[in-house]
Amino acid sequence: MIANDGYAAMTTNKVAERAGVSIGSLYQYFPNKQVILVSLLEEHLAHVHPVIERSLDELSDPAVPYVEAMHRMFVRLLALHRDANPRLQRALGEEVPQPPHVREQRRRREAEYTARVATILRDRPDVRAYNPEVAAQVLVEATSALSRWLAHEAPPDLDREAYVREAVRLLTAHLQPTRP
Amino acid sequence: MIANDGYAAMTTNKVAERAGVSIGSLYQYFPNKQVILVSLLEEHLAHVHPVIERSLDELSDPAVPYVEAMHRMFVRLLALHRDANPRLQRALGEEVPQPPHVREQRRRREAEYTARVATILRDRPDVRAYNPEVAAQVLVEATSALSRWLAHEAPPDLDREAYVREAVRLLTAHLQPTRP
Amino acid sequence: MIANDGYAAMTTNKVAERAGVSIGSLYQYFPNKQVILVSLLEEHLAHVHPVIERSLDELSDPAVPYVEAMHRMFVRLLALHRDANPRLQRALGEEVPQPPHVREQRRRREAEYTARVATILRDRPDVRAYNPEVAAQVLVEATSALSRWLAHEAPPDLDREAYVREAVRLLTAHLQPTRP
Amino acid sequence: MIANDGYAAMTTNKVAERAGVSIGSLYQYFPNKQVILVSLLEEHLAHVHPVIERSLDELSDPAVPYVEAMHRMFVRLLALHRDANPRLQRALGEEVPQPPHVREQRRRREAEYTARVATILRDRPDVRAYNPEVAAQVLVEATSALSRWLAHEAPPDLDREAYVREAVRLLTAHLQPTRP
DNA sequence: TATGAATGAGCATTCATTCAT
DNA sequence: TATGAATGAATGCTCATTCAT
């Protein structure tokens, strides 16, 4: 994909080159660099959304054990991050000044995910959270951060399997109703 | 500090201006922009290091309850992130291509922290980890991510106190020996 | 017509659009932008020519008093300039590098007009010029400049009628045979 | 000087090159192309102004015969035009979008010149204008156009002396009080 | 030694021109 | 034959870096 060296290297000419079109063609479809990069971001988000939705559906299904559902979600996020170029994500997600409607949409979507998780924490019989809203917030951040780290920053000799197991343990243990 | 608008705004002239020297003087001490930014990063890391060391000392002190020590560490990291400009961190940590020796030093330091945590997990009587090395890895990442998120990305109306409590619960519960 | 914002705005695509053809078709008939613009100029000159011819015919008619004929010519030039887009004229006439044959044709035509005026100055009984060739030259330039100025650059509150009267006075008085 | 091929050729890099500085230096002093070109224009106007003022002083001096003063002014304008690059003048004066204050200043200055001429026409005993304001307007335009033409567009074989004489005749005859 | 004016490579963007359909 | 998407050279402008003072 695009972006190998951070935002600085995301020149419009390189974007065009890697997209396999001329710079002129790129500007036939996009009015300027910001819009080019933002639409790369939107494309990515559109790709990510259904995967998360599916994972949340699974997480809200009482027939699937909580730990099991969490494990599956973690593995899916991992795959998602693997497909994506982390530099691109960072550049798109944080460096590119985003137009308000995109910022708003991202915010809304994240809030939506968190709200769904809060509901799940409240509703699942095999889970007990003192403050579901905040717990959901924490959970979403931790899940996202751990899967991203494993996908992009973990040293190559790390035991991936063990990491996933340990991560899921951390992400689930504190909500077990059987804790004293 | 520097960096108000992302990497793009970190021009050498601005760096010089805020450092209170002329651009010429800056280049008398540093060979190029990369080195300038990297040494800002190193300065930051030098500031961060003792705080983490102190927290790890506390965490390894059996006289301080584990949850309590974790809480304190979390609060300290929070303060650290508050002092730092997140843009600068991002720019320095991820966008600037870092010379091998700096990359290596950061990696080593992180490995060192993780190793200390692994030892702590192994040694503390009030903690039980199946795989202390991996658990330490996960713990370090999760702690760092959650504190950073609270410091820089949390919505302003979030209940900070509750978030910290919930985060510490997540960071500690899975290691409680009393789990069935 | 074309050209609303000076030469800079005369893009070939806009020329094609306003001409109601595709850019591809335009380039089927014209080899490049210069030729396109030059032929717009030629079209304009073709429009202007008969008007000037008619005015010169009138000017050479002894039945029409000299001042009267001059007045009519002035008014006609005014109308001509009003119809034309001054930006276009300027762009075509001065900015576009013109191929030699067009330059030559314009020069020839202007020489032709001047020659006719010289003849008129010589032949009319109610006119006395010391040096008809040069007087014609001066006359042609002054007439053209004053009418163009009135059409395009005069402040809106100027008394047009009075200006025309005064201009014609200037353009005719020096040739009156009755001067001492 | 600058500008050999119309506005299109006035690239900032060429302006810099001919000014003998680097493009970077140019932009250290001017914020953008428009300002660069406008200040070239202002420089020119500053050069032109005193010459015109002096000519107008002479024209208002009753000790100098009107025709004589007009002749001198014409010759001075000629020299002014000779020194200036006509392409540059055109580009600066008409193509470059000028900031309001510059437009205003030019307008004001031209109005000022015209007003002085009107006063002169009113006051000189050897001149008789029916409508001094309008006559001044016409005179200013005609003088300016004829001198510009002689300086820049006249065919090389033209008898310059004769042209000047004829032009001055045209510019003065209509105001002679001795006309019947 | 410290300065900051000068430099010019490199970026985002436009537009004359081509060519596959 | 007519179309207009695709091309890429060229432009205005920025900023890391140098060097005369």
Residue nearest to nucleotide F11 (CA to C1'): D11
Query: Looking at the predicted structure, is the pLDDT value of residue C22 above 80?
Result: yes
Report the distance from CA of residue B33 to the C1' of nucleotide F6 in Å, as an integer. Answer: 38
Give nucleotides in strand E with any atom < 7 A to a protein C-beta. Answer: 1-20
Model pLDDT, residue B161: 94
Confidence of residue B96 (pLDDT cuts 50, 70, 90): low
Report the neighbours of B using a cutoff of 3 or more CB pairs below 8 angstroms: A
A129 in a domain, yes or no?
yes
Between CA D7 and CA D22 the distance in angstroms is: 20
Distance from CA of B21 to the nearest CA of A (A): 25
**What pLDDT was estimated at residue D134?**
96
Average pLDDT of span A3-24:
81
- Within a domain: D13: no
pLDDT, residue C178, reads 62
Give chain D positions within 8 Å (CB) of C135: 166, 170
pTM of the model: 0.81
- CB of B121 within 8 Å of a chain A CB? The answer is no
Distance A147 CA to E11 C1' (A): 35
Using one digit for the tens of pLDDT, what is the confidence trace for D158-178? 999 999 999 999 999 988 776
What's the confidence (pLDDT) of residue C113?
96
Tell me: the pLDDT tens digits for B119-138?
999 999 999 899 999 999 99
Q: Is the pLDDT of residue D180 over 50?
A: no
Q: What is residue D150's predicted lDDT score, i.e. its pLDDT?
A: 95
Neighbours of C48 (CB within 10 A): 17
What confidence score (pLDDT) does residue A45 get? 86
Question: What Rg, from alpha-carbon coordinates, does chain B have?
Answer: 19
Q: How far is CA C8 from CA A88, B143, C23, C91, in A?
A: 37, 58, 18, 9
pLDDT at D18: 87
Instruction: Report whether pLDDT(D99) > 90.
Output: no
Contact B7 A7 (CB under 8 A): yes
Rounded Cα–Cα distance for residues A109 and A50 (Å):
12
Which residues does chain B have within 8 Å of residue A149's beta carbon, measured at their own beta carbons?
141, 145
pLDDT score, position B124 = 95
Of residues C72 and C17, the one with the higher pLDDT is: C72
HSE at residue A112, side-chain half, CA atoms within 13 A, is 10
Both tokens assigned to D17: 């090159």
Can you give the pLDDT at residue C90? 66
Q: CA of B24 and C1' of F20: distance in angstroms?
A: 12
- Domain membership flag for residue A41: yes
Predicted pLDDT of residue B68:
95
Q: Which of A114, D83, D151 is nearest to B163 (CA)?
A: A114
pLDDT tens for residues C36-90? 888 888 888 888 999 999 999 999 999 999 999 999 999 999 999 988 777 666 6
Taking the Cβ of residue D9 and every Cβ of chain C, the question of whether any pair is shorter than 8 Å is answered with no
Tally of helices (H runs) and strands (E runs) in chain B: 8, 0
Residue with smallest Cα–C1' gap to E19: C24
Flag whether B touches D (3+ CB pairs, 8 A cutoff). no
- In tens, the pLDDT along A66-113 reads 999 999 999 999 999 988 777 667 666 666 667 778 788 888 999 999
Average pLDDT over residues A53-77: 96
Lowest pLDDT segment from A62-71, A161-170, C97-106, C144-153: C97-106
| Rounded Cα–Cα distance for residues B98 and B104 (Å) | 10
Mean predicted confidence (pLDDT) in B68-95 = 82
Average pLDDT over residues C121-141: 94
Taking the C1' atom of F17, which residue's CA lies nearest?
B32
Task: Give the span between the Cα atoms of B45 and B93, in whole angstroms.
Answer: 10
CA C163 to chain D, closest CA, distance in angstroms equals: 6
**A95 Rama class: left (phi>0) / alpha (psi -120 to 50) / beta:** alpha
**Interval B57-83 mean pLDDT:** 94
Residues of C in Cβ contact (< 8 Å) with D139? 170
Question: Is residue B1 included in any domain, yes or no?
Answer: no
Would you call A29 exposed, middle or buried from its count of C-beta atoms within 10 A (0-12, 13-18, 19+)?
exposed
Residues 6+ apart with CB under 8 A from B47: B80
Residues with CB under 7 A from strand E: A 10-13, 23-24, 27-28, 31-34, 36; B 21-25, 27-28; C 8, 10-13, 23-24, 27, 31-34; D 21-25, 27-29
The answer as to whether A130 is a domain residue is: yes
Looking at every residue in chain B, the average pLDDT score rounds to 87
| Total CB pairs under 8 A between chain A and B | 109
Measured in angstroms, what separates residue C23's CA from nucleotide F1's C1'? 14
State whether B178 and A176 contact (CB < 8 Å): no
Angle between helices D132-152 and C160-173 (to 10 degrees): 60
B156 sits within 7 Å of strand F by its CB = no
Q: Do C149 and D145 touch (CB under 8 A)?
A: yes
Pairs of CB atoms within 8 A across C/D: 109
Q: What is the pLDDT of residue D62?
A: 94
Non-local (6+) Cβ contacts of D11 within 8 A are none
Compare A167 and C7 and report the one with higher pLDDT: A167
Residue of D137, D146, D155 lying closest to C141 (CB–CB)? D146
- Binned at pLDDT 50, 70 and 90, residue A143 comes out as very high
Tell me the mean pLDDT in the region A120-146: 95
Is B180 inside any structural domain? no
Span CA (C12) to C1' (F17), Å:
41
pLDDT at position A113 is 96
The pLDDT value given to residue B27: 95
Domain contains D140: yes
> Distance, in angstroms, between D133 CA and closest chain C CA?
10
CATH number assigned to the domain comprising residue A134: 1.10.357.10
Q: pLDDT category, A31, cuts 50, 70, 90?
A: very high
Using the predicted structure, report yes or no on whether residue D2 has a pLDDT greater than 90: no
Residue B149 C-alpha, separation from nearest chain A C-alpha, in angstroms: 8
Q: Measured between CB atoms, does C97 come within 8 Å of chain D? A: yes
Q: Is the pLDDT of residue A60 over 90?
A: yes
Give the count of domains, chain C: 1
- Look at A11-20, A109-118, B48-57, D137-146 and tell me which has the smallest mean pLDDT: A11-20
Domain that residue C100 falls in: 33-173
Residue C26, CA: closest nucleotide via C1'?
Answer: F2
Answer yes or no: is pLDDT of A58 > 50. Answer: yes
Domain assignment present for residue A18? The answer is no
Query: Which residues 129-168 on chain A approach chain B with CB closer than 8 angstroms?
Result: 130-131, 134-135, 137-139, 141-142, 145-146, 149, 154-155, 158-159, 162-163, 165-167
Nearest nucleic acid nucleotide to C35, CA to C1' distance: E16
Listing DSSP states for C95-115 in one string gives ISPPPHHHHHHHHHHHHHHHH
